[in-house]
Chain A
Amino acid sequence: MKHLKTDVAVIGAGITGCAIARQLSRYVLNILVIEKEPDAGCGTTRANSGLVHPGYAGDEGTLRLTMCHNGSLLFRKIAPELDIPMIYSGSLLHAEKRQDIAYLEELKKKGTKYGVKGLRVLRGYEEIKKIEPSISKNVVASLYCAEHIITSPYEAALALFENAAENSAKFLFGQKVFSIKYEKSSKAFFIETEDYKGVKSILIEASYVINAAGVFADEIAAMAGDDSFKIQSIKGQYFLLDSNTGPHVKLPNLRLPDPDNIRSKGMVVTPTSGGNLLVGSNYELTDKNDSSTTYDELEEIRKKLSRLIENIPFEKIITAFAGSRAYADTGDFILGPIPHNERFINAAGIQSPGLTCAFLIAEMMADYLKDAGLPLKNNSGFKPQREAIKKINKENLLENNSLYRTDNKYGEIICRCEKVSEAEIVEAIKRGAATIDGIKFRTRAGMGRCQGGYCMLRVLKILSRELGVPVEEITKSGGNSFVALKKMN
């Protein structure tokens, strides 16, 4: 059994866990992030609408409402340091019924109260069409918000992971927390983990624990003796359309949640930061491990959003996927130490707006650790900057020769749909990608219209070569998701 010792163990490497790790790496601390998946940002972080919300939605008195606007401001401040994509698009929230106009006015008032600027209720088709030319005549009024931002949630998590790691936070991937024991005498947690086969070979001794385990945060909290809340997984399904369809709409077009569905954020038709069109999502309570798409629900999304936006080019669908949100039965974020042990701190129930609030939650976690007696001494070597992988310029191709001169692998195109070169893939591996999906979410190789038909085997071989691992041991997304079963004789 391998014995690891750390000051702080963070459980979960989603956007929240990664933001916490990066925040804590500002201090002289040993930080260990434990993640059951093979990479950062594999759960809720990977499959959502990718929007930084301005802060007009959510119930009065909830952290989800009161933290949102400040979270958004902090996101805007920090994201540029980390080269996280941000498009200041603004948004429209559409009402199809006259009686909903009053609700839009209410949201405007609420948002304004919490500091959201430039909220405007637009009435009538002509008025709305000026901002969104693809709008349907079914829309009677819309709440315009200048402060909505399009980002990429998984790129954000990966950027935070890279930067935290560069500032010497450690990450343990493919290890699931199996048990947590607290030893009063030494004031230490003993965390036992297991791999996907159930093999237990690592014991982690941590002085403090932060629980950022997403939909599984209730199970982790219970291991530490806190069974005060339950997490339900709310599944939402999306269509992703080809990477030239984004301009079909000018900005995120949000749909009011159905009245029987108030916990939902409503649906959206939005461009993504990668130029795709994203169409989703619905709302279903499901099993925590369920991320399957279903025919009926996808049809419902198609039908409902076609009422808002004209001629959504559904013939250009390249894939459909489902994401989950961690909805706590308290209805709100659960932030802070558990009742009987201030050294175990929850960052749980982070359903929307989790992406928006990640940086703010991370700052709060540092404060909770300080309150619990952890000395936070500034890390003078902290490097706040991180640069994204240099991508090929698709508009001015000859300009890529400046990249090519630094590395001739920039001349080798591996993914034909998204125009990704071998240099980018090798760089992604240097930055921690070890799976086919790890390459895909860092470089977009395999994310295009042929869905890896051309590049998947090429990426597989590059992974094998760079990692020095046989092809048949490379997985799509960890566990037993092997791409090839065995080498033939």
Chain B
Amino acid sequence: MALEECGYITREELEQFGLFPSEERFKQGPVAVIECIQEIPCNPCEAACPRNAIQIGAPITTLPMLNEKLCTGCGICIAKCPGLAIFTVDKTYSGDEATVSFPYEYVPLPVKDEIVEAVNRVGEVVCKGRIIKVLNPKAYDRTPVVTVAIEKEFADEVRSMKRK
């Protein structure tokens, strides 16, 4: 497992665990990507989803499963995941751009319209990104969620931004 040896998840691993949304679902708009493939005792994402799209059940170590039909990609689960392992991806954002929303607990926070360096799961810069929004309401409990617009082809790769 790349995650155990190298510390990052691969798309293949996500697919293997049934955690990578289908292309059909991506075509319909924003959707959550839950990058959690180890059975750890944790379930706040399940209660976080207002549409019950995330299921864990018992025991608490069961992997989360996303019901992609119920998921609206609202992103509430992003800040609720203690592992910071949930993202939302919108491949329908515009003709040539997709957006990726990710948790970002560093200061300074980026600001709207800022151009940042978007990074992949290994921290490598893959492209430039434009900040669409930065949400940091009280309910997120100090886990701001940043949404960045990037070229569509990098939507499955980009998962954060380079720290400033």
Chains A and B bind each other: no
- List residues of A whose CB falls within 8 A of some B CB: none
